[in-house]
Each structure stands twice: as structure tokens, then as C-alpha cells.
């Protein structure tokens, strides 16, 4: 039986689709196709709005999916978070008109607009504010000042908030894309095996993105120094060169360490250094 996978429709899906592609999973369908075919893994795929995904996974309509942690919390969904992918990070923020005084506003009843009814209610109650909450359905930033005193909305750069002459007075929570599973699906041995296999592929791609493969040669007298310099996933691979003229050394190294590492390797006696991309690392 195929795993039922639900994906977010729209911009948020770009990085998820790229991840799946690098796992060897290709989705084929038109721009308006909400049920693309999957090749490379036994999946039954459907696209939904991101707000609905966690709820559909919770009730078992789909086995696995990708959802922001904000909508998991907003819906109160009981799902298993398998991996925090960190894609499309946003902040859920409280905003007021840029020239209003936040401390003064706390002393009176506020009209608050938000798509996040439960997150907003929890936040406003925690502050002990007197408020009336309006449920918005997109374009929340246009409510103030005529139709609301405050909004609680998500932002990635803050540019839309500034463009609408608002200012952030508090960060309610932070969110990013999560890989989630239905709890009962994980109790099914066959489904759990497939989910684990898919998670392994995804983790291998993520690991590979963080690393490059360094390959180099060095003389007999430099091998110990060169190996000591090399970070690796476990140990560097070392093999003899032709006619015992030295050693060939390979290591998977984090990209963030390359800039400082290569000059040290050259100084230690490494030559013929090659840097190569890593597609997957397990």
C-alpha cells in the first residue's frame, strides 16, 4: 500500500519539492494538478493549503506531510514531528500602527485581527488584555487602524508590516516547516518502515548539503599532520599512492570549515587538493 503524502500548495512547497527531488522522488503534474504522480518512491500525493495539512494528517486522511509548526499549534493537532526542516522560517508577531503607544493601548479594550485564533487567544490572555478578536482570512495587515487596533500575523522579512505603517511590539512564536506523520501510521510496521526509509533519504540529502568531499595527496612525512587537521564524519580515508610515493586522503568536511581548513592543509604538506560536492551522506 502506498504512503499517503500531503504537500503544501504554493510558494512554501518549493524547498520541499527540491528536497524530494534530491531524494530521487519526482512529482509529475500540471500547475493546477492537486494530485501529481510520484516516481521513485511508492507515494500517493495530494496538495492542500498549508493551514489544513496538520489536521488532515492527524485524522489519518494522510500518513505523512509537511506543515509549519504554527498551524500544528493553531489547530492543536496531535501528530508526530519527525524532522524540523527549518524551511521558510517565519515569526508570528503582534503589530500596532507605527505611531501608537503600546503601553497606553494595554490599558484599554483592543480589537485584534488574526488568522491565528487559538495562538492569539493564548497570547492575549497571557498578557491579561481586554480584547475582541476578529478572525481574518488573509491580508491581515490592512485592518489597522480603521478596523483593528492590533494584528497578530506571520512575517519572514517584516517588509509588509513596514509597508503598511505598522510596528512589531512582540514576537508570539517562531515557526518553520516540519515533516510530520500520523501517530497510527507509525504503529503500522509496513508504513513505519517506508516512513523511516523516506526519512533516511531526506536526512542523507540534508547531510550532503552541509558537506563537501575533500581529496588530496601528501608525502609520507606529512600524513600524520594532514590527518590530524581533517574533520570527518568518522575517520578520513587514507590509501597508498602508486609506488608508495605518499598517500591519498579523502574526508567529508563541513562547508563552513573549508575556508579556514584549506590553507592549513597546504601548509601541512597537502597537494593536489580537490573539492567535490556530496549528494547524500549517511
The DSSP annotation for 184-230 comes to: TGGGSHHHHHHHHHHHHHHHHHHHHHTEEEEEEEE-TTTHHHHHHH-
pLDDT in tens, 105-160: 999 999 999 999 999 999 999 999 999 999 999 899 999 999 999 999 999 999 99
Mean predicted confidence (pLDDT) in 225-248: 89
Q: Grid coordinates representing 160? A: 509588509
Which CATH superfamily groups domain 90-175? Answer: Periplasmic binding protein-like II (3.40.190.10)
Domain(s) of CATH 3.30.70.120: residues in the chain: 211-277
Judge whether residue 92 has pLDDT over 90. Answer: yes
- How confident is residue 23, by pLDDT bands cut at 50, 70 and 90? very high
Lowest-pLDDT choice from 27-31, 58-62, 119-123: 27-31
Summary mean pLDDT of the chain: 94
Angle 81-254-281 from CA coordinates, rounded to 5°: 55
For the four alpha carbons of 198, 201, 202 and 203, in that order, the dihedral sign comes to positive
Mean predicted confidence (pLDDT) in 241-262: 93
Q: What is the pLDDT of residue 13?
A: 83
Name, in order, each residue with C-beta under 8 angstroms of 110's C-beta and a sequence gap of 6 or more.
129, 130, 131, 132, 149, 150
First to last CA, the chain: 27
Between 269 and 12, the higher pLDDT residue: 269
Judge whether residue 233 has pLDDT over 80. Answer: no
In CATH, what class is 211-277?
A: alpha beta
Domain(s) of CATH 3.40.190.10: residues in the chain: 3-86+177-207, 90-175
Q: What is the pLDDT of residue 278?
A: 92
Judge whether residue 268 has pLDDT over 70. Answer: yes
- Residue 106 CA from chain centroid, whole number: 35
- How confident is residue 192, by pLDDT bands cut at 50, 70 and 90? very high
The domain defined by 3-86+177-207 folds into D-Maltodextrin-Binding Protein; domain 2 (3.40.190)
Question: In angstroms, rounded to a whole number, what is the distance separating the alpha carbons of residues 90 and 27?
Answer: 26
Q: What is the pLDDT of residue 32?
A: 76
Q: What is the pLDDT of residue 31?
A: 66
Lowest-pLDDT choice from 10-14, 94-98, 147-151, 174-178: 10-14
pLDDT in tens, 64-81: 999 999 999 999 999 999
- How confident is residue 281, by pLDDT bands cut at 50, 70 and 90? confident
Amino acid at each position: 500500500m502506498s504512503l499517503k503524502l500531503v504537500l503544501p500548495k504554493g510558494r512554501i512547497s518549493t524547498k520541499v519539492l527540491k528536497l524530494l527531488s534530491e531524494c530521487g522522488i519526482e512529482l509529475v503534474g500540471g500547475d493546477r494538478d492537486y494530485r501529481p504522480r510520484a516516481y521513485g518512491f511508492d507515494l500517493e500525493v495530494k496538495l492542500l493549503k498549508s493551514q489544513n495539512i496538520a489536521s488532515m494528517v492527524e485524522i489519518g486522511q494522510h500518513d505523512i506531510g509537511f506543515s509549519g509548526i504554527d498551524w500544528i499549534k493553531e489547530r492543536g493537532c496531535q501528530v508526530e514531528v519527525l524532522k524540523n526542516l527549518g524551511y521558510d522560517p517565519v515569526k508570528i508577531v503582534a503589530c500596532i500602527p507605527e505611531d501608537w503607544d503600546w503601553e497606553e493601548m494595554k490599558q484599554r479594550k483592543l480589537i485584534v485581527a488574526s488568522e491565528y485564533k487559538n495562538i492569539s487567544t493564548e497570547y492575549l490572555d497571557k498578557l491579561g488584555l481586554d480584547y475582541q478578536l476578529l478572525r481574518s482570512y488573509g491580508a491581515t495587515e490592512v485592518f489597522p487602524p480603521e478596523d483593528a487596533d492590533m494584528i497578530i500575523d506571520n512575517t519572514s522579512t517584516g517588509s509588509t508590516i513596514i509597508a503598511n505603517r505598522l510596528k512589531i511590539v512582540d514576537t508570539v512564536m517562531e515557526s518553520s516547516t516540519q515533516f510530520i506523520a500520523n501517530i497510527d501510521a507509525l504503529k503500522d510496521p509496513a508504513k513505519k518502515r517506508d516512513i523511516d526509509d523516506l526519512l533516511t533519504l531526506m536526512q542523507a540529502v540534508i547531510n550532503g548539503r552541509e558537506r563537501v568531499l575533500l581529496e588530496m595527496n601528501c608525502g609520507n612525512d606529512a600524513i600524520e599532520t594532514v590527518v590530524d587537521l581533517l574533520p570527518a564524519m568518522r575517520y578520513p580515508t587514507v590509501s597508498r599512492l602508486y609506488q608508495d610515493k605518499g598517500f591519498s586522503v579523502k574526508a567529508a568536511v563541513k562547508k563552513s570549515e573549508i575556508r579556514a581548513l584549506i590553507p592549513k592543509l597546504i601548509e601541512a604538506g597537502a597537494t593536489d587538493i580537490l573539492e567535490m560536492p556530496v549528494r547524500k551522506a549517511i
